[in-house]
Structure 1
Amino acid sequence: MKSTGMIRKLDGLGRIVIPMELRRTLNIFEKDPLEIFTEGERIILKKYKAGQQCQLTGEVSDDNLVIGNGKLVLSRKAALEVLEEIESALSKQ
């Protein structure tokens, strides 16, 4: 993880301001949803990408495949499993 050297204080409601320069660099704009993760004592913010969750395994990854004109999202593992099932079903006919 790369340190930016930026330090911000929480306000009374627990909010922080993400500096404009950092938001521009990461293509985060006003009203963009962010996911919040924790790892040990770290809080991790990640730009939320809707529709990137595998519809079979629930895995969320930038590596997931979007197929069927955007109607189906599969992880690589799930795609291989489905491919095997399709090949098996077609070979029985």
Structure 2
Amino acid sequence: MKNTGVVRKADELGRVVIPVELRRTLGIAEGTALDFHVDGENMVLRKQEKSCFVTGDVSESNLELLDGRMFLSKKGASELLDAIEKSGMVNG
């Protein structure tokens, strides 16, 4: 990982401002979903990838569901629908 030398303090609510230079460089616009990951004692912040919940395929064309909490590719949607139909949860 590259050290940017930028340091920000969290406010009383735990919020941290990402500097505009970093947001522009990384293509983080208002409303961009970010994932928090913990790696040992480090917290890693990443732009959320639109990876399919079923297949793991990453594509901008994946369908966004549940307010951006889940994405489905066409293949993943088809596999999910087949599994639901086979389970008898819905009438085919």
Question: TM bucket by the smaller chain?
Answer: 0.5 to 0.7
Residue identity (%): 44
Q: Paired residues, what number?
A: 64
- Measure the CA separation in 1 of the matches of 2:58 and 2:30: 28
Cα 1:65/1:4, change in 2 over 3 Å: closer
RMSD in angstroms over aligned alpha carbons? 2.1
What's the counterpart of residue 29 of structure 1?
29
Q: CA deviation at 1:54?
A: 5.1
Larger radius of gyration: 1
Q: Following superposition of structure 1 onto structure 2, how do residues 6-17 of structure 1 map, counting pairs within 5 Å?
A: 6-17=6-17
- Alignment TM-score, normalising by the size of structure 1: 0.60
The one of 67, 71, 74 equivalent to 1:71 is 74
2:16 counterpart SS class: coil
Q: 1:72 to 1:14 in 2, by over 3 A?
A: same
Query: Which stretches in structure 1 are left out of the alignment for 5+ residues?
Result: 74-93
Q: Secondary structure at the match of 2:13?
A: coil
Question: 1:11-66, CA deviations, whole angstroms, 9 ceiling, x for partnerless residues?
Answer: 0000100000000000000111100000011111111123x13515xx5xxxx366
Normalised TM-score (structure 2)? 0.60
